Amino acid sequence: YSIRNILVNLHCHAHFPAAVYLIAKRYCYRLCVLGKKIPITKETVYALAVASVRVAEKYLIDSIHAHKTVAMAVDMETSELTKIEMAFCFLLGFELGV
C-alpha cells in the first residue's frame, strides 16, 4: 500500500474532516522528525499512517467511526488496529494535544 492509497481508503470509508489529517501529520512529525522515535521505512509507514489518523480522529471528534469500519477500510484485523493505536499513544506519551 502507498500512503495515498491508505488515506484514500480511510477517507472513502470514514469521511474524516481535514483537521484529522492535519493533526495526524503533526503527530507523525513529532514522532519521526522531532523525537526520532520511529524511522520512516516501508515497514513502518503503513502502521504510522493508520494509527496517526485513527488517534487524531479520536482526539478531535466526539462521535468516532466504529473500530470494525476503520479496520476494514485499511484491511487490518481489529486486534491489530488496537495494538498499533495503543503503541502510537505510548510513543506520543499520551500527549495528544497539538
Domain 3-91 has CATH 3.30.390.30: no
Residue 86, pLDDT score: 92
* Closest listed residue to residue 82, CA positions, set 62, 60, 58: 58
pLDDT in tens, 57-86: 888 887 677 777 778 777 788 888 889 999
Measured at the CA of 30, the angle between CA 25 and CA 34, to 5 degrees, comes to 130
Phi-psi region of 63 (alpha: psi -120 to 50; beta: other; left: phi over 0): beta
pLDDT in tens, 12-60: 777 788 898 899 999 988 888 877 777 777 778 888 888 898 899 888 8
Residue 3, pLDDT score: 77
* Closest listed residue to residue 63, CA positions, set 7, 9, 94, 17: 17
* Domain residue extents for the chain: 3-91
Q: How confident is the model at residue 1 (pLDDT cuts 50, 70, 90)?
A: low
